[in-house]
Structure 1
Amino acid sequence: MRKGAILLGTVLLGFLSALSYAQAPVPFISQPLVPDATAPGGGDFTLTVNGTGFVSNSVINWNGIALATQFISDTQLTATVPAADITTASTAWVMVANPAPGGGTSNVAFFTVTYNTGDSVIFIRHHGPYIFKTSAVAVGDFNQDGKVDLAVIHVYKNDTTLYILLGDGTGHFTVGPPPPATGNSVTVADFNGDGKLDLAVVNSGTNTVSILLGDGT
């Protein structure tokens, strides 16, 4: 009886170990992408993504569309970006997806398709009725128009409000109505894997996080 119990325990332990091993990690992209910018109208090019938690069937997504991905190591992936994706000036968002069990989608990295691929500093001046004192800013293309937008935590006295500022690609932003969330920090990712950027907001004064699912508009 004891021998049978020991054998059963060994088999069960081996099964649990194999199950644990089969869980894919959540990937993470280290900045910057290589390259992280190119000029419009170029040809196909190889994109290198560095990070952690990559597996043999990880997939690089370009604006939510899967690219043919080559696994180099658990810290590096490559993929070919077709010329059709860089015909005009835009900002693409890049993520890595690992399959279930476990797995999930990575943080977002941005790739700029622009004629100016040199080092530069952009200063943005905001005109309008809103005066922003910010505690956090996150960047993403929330309405999927190929232009970078901002998610800004605005602080006024003891209140914090999340605003989405939609960019027009020239450094100007239009302030949209605030989403139903307050908080002191915000991050961007595609949490439900639908190809649209979502927001995670750390709520003020609590130990909770609100997930705001984007609809691409």
Structure 2
Amino acid sequence: MNRIDVSLPQFEGGAAAFGIDEKRFARIEINSTNRTARWVKRVLLVEPFTKATGVRRVIFNDRLRLDLANTGRPEASIVPSSATIPARSYRHRASPVGGSKTNARVLVDWWRGEKVAAGFINPSSTRKLPLATRSVRERNVHAKTKLPHITQYRYDYRAPEDANGPSAAALFRVAVDDSTREQAADRLAFEFNLDLDKELF
């Protein structure tokens, strides 16, 4: 599942079992859920993602949407964006291809390794930035197609454009596992018990 949901099990009569007003008990559930979701996003996702890739925290903060719990929605969710992140935002390097002096693959730092990004780097250039590759795609021509003599889409850039790197969603898929979700569940139990103890004692 390409998201993390943070929610407490629903117990019938939970407020009554602890002798707490129902509205106050609901507020404890919401507060502990939201504190946990913020912790999960920062500690389990943004910080390790940044360390692994070199992408700035502010970018991952933006690309990992946090939907907080409220009175009408008892769970919080963290949903990664599928929008690409510019390859230049990653720690990256050029990987030579066939001895070419002007065209090298782009390798970006990734979860426990490196990943090839779409585009190229000119090893002879001064700045060695990852640039988008010009491409040609076949066009689907049918009876109602306008200008049917044009059989291809050509993506030629008059000025160099940044290459696209992998998305936060792609990184999320390889980095988040059962251990991540177990840590989230343990943290939620801790936060809930912390608030409950403050209320009871």
Please report the TM-score for the alignment, with normalisation by the length of structure 2. 0.25
Please report the TM-score for the alignment, with normalisation by the length of structure 1. 0.24
Question: Which one has a larger percent helix, Structure 1 or Structure 2?
Answer: 2
Rg (Cα) greater in structure: 2
